[in-house]
Amino acid sequence: MFLRLLYESFRRQKRRKLLAGIAIMLGVGVATAMIAVATDIGDKISRELRSYGANLIVTPQEDTLDIEIGGVNLKPPSDGAYLSEADLPKIKGIFWRNNIVGFAPMLPVSVSLGEMKRLTLLGTYFSKQLAFGKQDFTTGVRVTHPWWRVQGSWPDDNSEDILLGGHLAARLNRKAGQEIEIGGQPRRICGILSTGGAEDDQIIAPLPFAQQILGRPGAVRRIYVSAVTKPEDAFARRDPKSMSPEMYDRWYCSPYAQSIAFQLQEALPHSHAEQIRQVAQNEGTVLSRIKGLMLLIALAALLASALAVSASMATAVFERRSEVGLMKALGAGNLAVAVLFFAESALLALGAGSAGFVGGALLARQIGQSIFDSQITIQPVLLPVVLIIAVIVTFGGSAAAIRRAVKFDPVYALRGDV
């Protein structure tokens, strides 16, 4: 009898049930898409944020040591020690090598141009072809510093061409294609560089040229590394020396900026690696805000769905007041009436929730393809979670109407006075 009542309810109120089902399906679909994107967005957002540049810097270990006696710093006034260019390919040999988007070594040296004394010439990689083992890769400032803009063309890493900073080019009245004399040798200016930073007043040249001026072949002063990292949390900030072996393995095998920096120090002898703190913190902030926005959209969609269900169920219950009155007149208690309506709501939630899950999965894939140019992975565990959410939303929207139905007086209900 109970099943027949359920069947007749859906058969005789097709329009009401359809409207409520559509409301549930739309709300659950949007919530599914937002939850799926929010839970699978970390690596994709991190890769998008790599367009902001390097987030790790590697310097010689000696630069971090201060020699102080009696409050007087006795560290010699020099540019410090140097790293070896020959060790750079080892960066692609660390545990998280696939998370290394690129790196760019830097070697600043002082040069003179006519009356201009102590100008900085910065040696670096532009788009350098390197190999580690059987792996070939391209790296340089064109990967780690994507905001650098060149009017003209980029130099070849094996050429003697240079870039001239925009401000310096204006002072020297030089343009792309002209020449400039550095160290007694003419060098072709293949492009004018604009960065909005100190490089606008510098000469940017292939790394071997800076090493030649300095007289130190293979020397590198610092290395900027762009890596895809996991947002920092309390566990990431822990000192690895204080961890148990199990915790250390988990920390080491997590793509935190700190753990990747630690692995860079292991790969590069006599080096010190650390986060560029502002970039790393901004990544975590942006990621948290985007996730928060998506969850807020999901909650708003579910709330709208609950309100629509509430309106639909209130109308449906009012239309069935005679039926409820008859059930009570025949001896049905409040619990039996409530169970009947909640069973209808549960069936409606499961059916519409399943359809909403399918639609939400398709929407999530479309969002991933259009925004991140990659597929959003839908976790199987999300289906039962979504169905539970659909049931909760439907019960929440139906509760007021069902409570009213339970309180119907059978005498007035049968007369249609309720």
Q: What is the pLDDT of residues 157-167, one digit of tens each?
A: 998 899 999 99
Of 205 and 408, the structure prediction assigns the larger pLDDT to 205
Say if residue 130's pLDDT is above 60.
yes
**How many alpha carbons lie under 13 Å from residue 186 in its C-beta half-sphere?**
4
Position 112 pLDDT exceeds 90: no
| Residue 101 Ramachandran class (φ > 0 left, ψ -120 to 50 alpha, else beta) | alpha
| Confidence tier at 330 by pLDDT (50, 70, 90) | low
pLDDT at 263: 94
280 has pLDDT over 60: no
pLDDT score of 47: 56
pTM of the model: 0.61
Residue 357's Cβ-count burial label (10 Å; 0-12, 13-18, 19+) is: buried
- Quick one: tokens of 407? 């309180």
Most confidently modeled range among 221-235, 279-293, 336-350? 221-235
The pLDDT assigned to 232 comes to 74
CA 160, 165, 166, 167 torsion: positive or negative?
A: negative
Q: Write down the pLDDT at residue 416.
A: 55
Given a cut of 90, is residue 262 above it in pLDDT? yes
How high is the pLDDT of residue 74? 43
Read off the pLDDT band of 369 (50, 70, 90): confident
Higher-pLDDT residue of 216 and 401 is 216
Q: Which residues contact 280 (CB under 8 A, 6 or more apart)?
A: 55, 229, 232, 257
Exposure string for 394-415, b = 16+ CB within 10 A, e = fewer: bbbbbbebbebbbebebeebbe
On the CB side of 10, CA atoms within 13 Å amount to 15
